[in-house]
A = this chain, B = another copy of it.
Amino acid sequence: MGHSQAQKAETRERLIGEAAAQIRKDGLESVSVAGLMSSAGLTHGGFYRHFGSRSALIAEALRRALSDGEAKAKASVAAAPTGLRASVRSYLSRTHRDSPQTGCAIAALVSDVGRADPAARAVMTERIEAFIGGTARQLGREDDRAAIVAVSAMVGALALSRVLTDPKRSDQVLRTVRDYLIETLGEEA
């Protein structure tokens, strides 16, 4: 078995990435040391060559999950730079709803992190502020009141759409909030 320094860094990356995806899909508690290592094709003992403890991994993976989601949002906006309209359309899409592993970690984990320790809340707070700030910039406003409303509605609608058992009703919630935001805020922008 090879294990150069480069390979170590690569393994660490793989572990964090895998844990981040799993966290968004099944929550912070779903990640186990043995499970993570085995899904990376390794045995559990080696875990502690990369992380001091399970909770250190979780902290790192939460950070990754949040910044991945943000990076993806930025990329999608860069690809279709129509400002708010494009962001809202992509955020409140069925694709986003159905792919929590790769989507916005704020919506995927709000209520979990809302009751987590201050360190985890601080990590997500940064990303919420970045989301609000980005939206405010797209709106071209001085104050961020409209952005706060838009972000609350987007996060709420996406999270709710993942609970609703009727797919049509779930679609409708996404569509309704999407149309409302584009119409109401788009005009004033």
Interface of A toward B, CB cutoff 8 Å = 25-27, 29, 100, 106-115, 118, 121-122, 124-125, 128-129, 145, 148-149, 151-157, 159-160, 162-166, 169, 172-173, 176-177, 180
Contacts and interface: CB of A to CB of B under 8 A. Distances in A.
Given A108-B111, A160-B128, A152 B165 contact: no
B163 A114 contact: yes
Contacts of A26: 115
A159 B121 contact: no
Contacts of A165: 118, 121-122, 125
| Interface SS majority for chain A | helix
Contact of A159 (B129, B156, B164, B169): B156
A164 B159 CA distance: 17
B164 A152 contact: no
Contacts of A108: 111, 114-115
Nearest to A100: B115
B163 A177 contact: no
B125 A163 contact: yes
A118 B137 CA distance: 39
Contact of A155 (B27, B160, B169): B160
Contacts of A115: 25-27, 100, 108, 162
A55 to B, nearest CB: 15
